[in-house]
Structure 1
C-alpha cells in the first residue's frame, strides 16, 4: 500500500503537526505500507488560486505543468491522508484551493453525459484527520455535518475516492482535550491499517 499524506497547516510545531508525525510514524512502522510520500502545501508555497482565462483554458486544467508533480503523487497513492484544521466549519482555503486545481476534468473525473460523471480516481481510499477548537460534535449538531458532506460526498466520492474515513478531534485548544489519547489513537490506526 502506498500512502500519500497531504498536510495543510502553516505551522509544524502545532497539534496538526503532532498528528502528522504520528501518522507518518505509524505508517512507516506498518508492514502493509510499502512507501509514504508527503505533500506539505504551506511548505511548498502551493498557489491555491484557480485561474482560467483566454490563456489558460478550463478544459486544459488537467495539463497544467504547475500541478503535474502533485498529480503523479495522487495517481501513485492507494491511500490519501488529509491532515488539516477545521476553520469556520470547513477545511482551510489552501486545501480547498488545492482540490480546485487538482480535481480537474480528465484527471479526477470525466463527463459521461449522465447525471454524475465517471470518477477517475477509483480504487483509492481517503482518511481525513482534522482538529477544531470547539466540541467534537459541534459540526454535526450546529452545522448539519457540513464538513463531512463537503469532503466525502461533494469532493472525494465525486471523483471515485471511497471509502472516506474521518477523525474529527474537538476541544483541541483545551487542556482537557485528551491530546495524548487522540495522538495514540491515530498512531495505532495507521500502524495497523491494512488497506
Structure 2
C-alpha cells in the first residue's frame, strides 16, 4: 500500500501514481507537461444526460460504495488501477481525502461511478465507469455539483482527451497548472 502521506504529498506536487496492470506489484509516479483540467464554470453535459438527471433515472449517492466504484473502474482488459492502488485509495477515503460518486439503478445495483482525491480546494479526478446508459456522465454531473457546492477551485483530470473535452476539459501548461494547484491548496473545500 502507498501510505496516505506519500499519496497526498505527491498530489500536492502535481504527481500521481499509475500501475502497469491490475496485478502489478508497485505503481509508478507520473506527471505531464500538459495538464487536463475542467474549469468549474465551463463544465457541460449533453441534453440527453440532463434529461436522464431531470427524470431521476438513477439514484446518486456520495461515498456509499467507494471500493466498489474503484473495482468498477478497474474492471477492464487494460487498467492502471492495481490492487495496491485500490487499497491505497480506500485508505484515503477512510481519511476523507478520496471520494466517489455512486450511481445506482432503482433495483439497488451500482451501475456507474467516478472517484478522485480532494486536497485543499483541488479535486483530482481519477477514473469513472458505467454499466448502464450514461451512468458515468451522470456521475460526472454530480461530481461537478459537489465541487461547486463544496467550494473547490481546481478540477484536475491529469490528461486532456476528446472524451473529457465534451465536458469542458481544456489543456494547460504544467507551469500554469502548478500555479493553480498552489492557489487551490491554500484553501479549504468540502466534497458534498
State whether TM-score is above 0.5: no
Which protein has the larger Cα radius of gyration, Structure 1 or Structure 2? 1
Higher strand proportion, which one?
2
